[in-house]
Structure 1
Amino acid sequence: MQPVLLAKAFRASGKDPSKVRPHRKLGQAGDGFAVEIENDRAPESVVQYVETRFDDLLEYFAPTIDAMAREGEIKPAVRDAAKGAEYRAAFEAAQRQREEAAGRQEVF
């Protein structure tokens, strides 16, 4: 069995201590892929992934992703280059319109 990257943990609710709130914490396999940082808004820490290790993280999960796709739990992502180019062109056109409107001090 593969070591766990994120482990489910529980803590008492701040509003009602009789209730428990789930959250995620870094598991044994998370070392090097992510770090836990202090959260100003909640008592539990937040998991933040290391951007430079993302390709390694994806490679680590590749066998799990393949198995889930084979078993029908998830659908594999299929990229459509033409659709992506169309989306990017529309997004860039909208961005240009916003910039031009801002230059004319119009409300968009």
Structure 2
Amino acid sequence: MAVAKLVAEVLQGAGIDARLTRDSDIALGSTTSADLSAMAKLANLAGADVFVSIHCNSATDKTAKGTETYHYPGSIQGNGLAKAVHECVISALLRSDRGIKTANRC
């Protein structure tokens, strides 16, 4: 949540109408999939041009590590944004590159 709030603050400082789908770590759905779908639906209702979902996940499997970036399937603009963000995050965090992927949560 702290990362999302900081990103929103930076974007707003640049004059971008950045909004958060929530302001605490309380999930909007009872499962991870339902939570992501609820957030995407809120973005769609707001008429957002871009939806960014930030996750700092953990796992007990030690091989599950690195950075991956998703975009909506078939979105040329989403793919371009995903590539730009992914390259910056990979170079800044120096984590394993798990690639750019697509997902549809709505």
TM-score, normalisation: structure 2? 0.30
TM-score, normalisation: structure 1? 0.30
Higher relative contact order (CA 8 A, sep 6+): 2
